[in-house]
Amino acid sequence: MKNLRKKSIEILFFAIFFNFYNLHSQSSNQSSVYNWFDNTIKKENLPINNGKLHTNFDKLLGAVDRYYISDKFSPGNLGYENQGYFDVSLKYDIYKDELILKSQEEGLIEINLIKENVQSFKLYDKKFVNLNFDKQLPSNFRGGYYEENQTGKNFVFYIKHYKEKKDIIKGTETFVDYYYKNQFLLFTQGKYNLINSKNELIKLFPNEKDKINDFYLMNRNLKSENESRFMENLMRYINSI
């Protein structure tokens, strides 16, 4: 089906070009062509509809669940087996590090996409990449999906979003409470580096030690309130120096 989808689009594209252009002159781009094809052959027949069923039997104690931003499906884009899929319904389980597709099959089932086939996806206007896709991430690093937050002049800054859970027993029932965590990764000078402390960052940018220290001092409130935003602003500042 993968090759059929790609080759069929190539063969049919020229034949339908003029009609397609007349009908969609304002949006004649790659996503429109692929969406047209996917709807024509029915989305349930696409190769992304392949994986284990997603299950979640959590009994939450609080309001925090296992998902990134929301447990509801949202439209997103997907790079899967070197092909693009657009406007598909996705949600991201950051506890299990599973990307979930709402299948168009009867019953609208939820499928954990095969991680080895997922290159990247975009959800809530954030781009995520699978750093294990081409085996480039060192084995001692936390694997899976990372938010590609910024691409600087000589680095790429990634954020790993994940959650840990705690089981709480009340009477005869077991409830779950989740806690958001993150990890920061910087690809520079041909290697991946963890930067979960100021000292680790200064080792990578020794010439900017004073400016990094000043930034930490002036933005300590933001660091305690929203560490991800703090690191995002810091990397943008370093890139501008």
Tens of pLDDT, residues 43-99: 555 678 888 999 999 999 889 999 999 999 999 999 999 999 999 999 999 999 999
Q: What per-residue confidence (pLDDT) applies to 35?
A: 46
**220: pLDDT confidence band, cut at 50, 70 and 90?**
very high
Q: What per-residue confidence (pLDDT) applies to 166?
A: 95
Contact between residue 55 and residue 91 where contact means Cβ atoms under 8 Å apart? no
**105: pLDDT confidence band, cut at 50, 70 and 90?**
low
Mean pLDDT, residues 167-178 taken together: 94
Q: Closest Cα partner for 51 from 106, 93, 98, 91?
A: 98
Please, which residues bridge with residue 93 across strands? 67, 98
Which two three-digit tokens encode residue 26? Answer: 């304002």
With b for 16 or more beta-carbon neighbours within 10 A and e for fewer, the 179-210 pattern comes to eeeeebbbbeeeebbbbeeeeebbeebeebee
Q: Dihedral sign for Cα 199, 203, 204, 207, please.
A: positive
Q: Closest Cα partner for 159 from 106, 214, 92, 210?
A: 92
Instruction: With a cut of 70, say whether residue 190 has pLDDT above it.
Output: yes
Mean pLDDT, residues 108-132 taken together: 95
